[in-house]
Amino acid sequence: MNTIEFYTDLIETEISNIYMPELPSNLYEPIRYILALGGKRLRPVLTLLASEMFEGELKSALAPAIAIEIFHNFTLVHDDILDRAETRRGKLTVHKKWNENIAILAGDTMQYLAYNYFCEIEDKYLKQCLLLFNKTAIQICEGQQLDMDFETNSQVTTEDYLTMIKLKTAVLIAFSLKIGAIISGASADDSEAIYNFGLSIGEAFQLQDDLLDCYGDFTKFGKKIGNDILANKKTYLLITALNLSEPQQHKKISYLITNEIDEAEKINRMLTIYDSLNIKQLTEAKISECYEKANYFLAQINLPQTRKKNLENFVQKLLARNF
């Protein structure tokens, strides 16, 4: 088995070698910029790990893995505009470094670059993979719309939120795993099991992101701490706090959401409420629940445990990110 570091280095090398013209510079330079910001390369690594599990050829899995990473970064470029985010991985977002029009067009171009790489999939798997990709892309848009709808909906439940993150985040992680299985000749049952495994891991990953936004270390997390609080985003933490709060606490939360106050004060006051309601611990418990569900689906895959170990270790390390 190859190491995770081997796969990550391979992906970084492939991304650095993606051909893009020099002109127009305001189209291609933002693409180079966002792709060079790095990150965990989670999704392409999962594709390669799934292919390895089912004894697929590394060369065959590499192109769709790169396609997924390009597409994922496209969604980040557009999401940062919609979320009015100023930083990404510790650097300025594309629309802040350039402008929104440039960011939109660069993101659009990244979609088509991704399709170029998907077209390298072996013909007998190509249609199935492209249909699944299109379904996944639509689901991500559905999730993003739900996320935006939540901004003006005062009745969002934790179940609503979990549906949203399944669409916005988890389906791409699940797709990354399933495509690696499909192109490696995995059975339909095993491909579906690894997809469901990915959904559960994706939900855990997003819940942990929510937690890190409030309790993380900026130098490790790469995003402004408390940004979700400042944006009044209905995360799992906020929704749970609203559900559990007594009338007086609920009033305080509503005040923080509806009034303009100093940013640092707003973050500190909201975190004080979260701490009083054990929101951090409750979110960690939900993450653990998702992880246990993922382990159930991993056990359904008809392979020896030794073949699953590399993927299992990677996920454990992923979900053990420091706060």
What tokens were used for 127? 């249609």
In this structure, are residues 137 and 78 in contact, taking their beta carbons and an 8 Å threshold? no
Count the neighbouring beta carbons within 10 Å of the beta carbon of residue 188.
9
Q: 3-state SS of the chain: helix, strand, coil percent to 5?
A: 75, 0, 20
Helix (H) or strand (E) holding 63: helix 58-83
Helix (H) or strand (E) holding 88: strand 87-88
Using CA atoms, how far residue 44 sits from 51, 54, 71, in Å, is 11, 16, 11
Count the neighbouring beta carbons within 10 Å of the beta carbon of residue 272.
10
- Is the peptide bond prior to 24 cis by the omega test (within 30 degrees of 0)? yes
Predicted local distance difference test score (pLDDT) of residue 2: 84
Helix (H) or strand (E) holding 112: helix 100-118
What tokens were used for 65? 């893995």
Predicted local distance difference test score (pLDDT) of residue 318: 80
Q: Say how far apart CA 48 and CA 304 lie, in whole Å.
A: 18
3-class DSSP state for residue 153? coil
Predicted local distance difference test score (pLDDT) of residue 175: 98
- Among 308, 19, 111, which Cα is nearest to 190's? 308
What tokens were used for 322? 């420091």
Q: Say how far apart CA 201 and CA 208 lie, in whole Å.
A: 10
Predicted local distance difference test score (pLDDT) of residue 102: 97
Question: What are the residue ranges spanned by the domains of the chain?
Answer: 4-318
Predicted local distance difference test score (pLDDT) of residue 142: 98
Which CATH superfamily is 4-318 part of? Farnesyl Diphosphate Synthase (1.10.600.10)
Residue burial 232-267, b: 16+ Cβ < 10 Å; e: rest: ebbbbbbbbbbeebeeeeeebbeebeeeeeeeeebb
Angle 224-228-233 from CA coordinates, rounded to 5° = 160
Q: What is the pLDDT along the chain (323 residues), one digit of tens a residue?
A: 788 899 999 999 999 999 999 999 999 999 999 999 988 899 999 999 999 999 999 999 999 999 999 999 999 999 999 988 888 888 999 999 999 999 999 999 999 999 999 999 999 999 999 999 999 999 999 999 999 999 889 889 999 999 999 999 999 999 999 999 999 999 999 999 999 999 999 999 999 999 999 998 755 555 567 889 998 999 999 999 999 999 999 999 999 999 999 999 999 999 999 999 999 999 999 999 999 999 999 999 999 999 999 999 888 888 776 54
In this structure, are residues 174 and 198 in contact, taking their beta carbons and an 8 Å threshold? yes
Angle 246-248-254 from CA coordinates, rounded to 5° = 100
Predicted local distance difference test score (pLDDT) of residue 90: 81
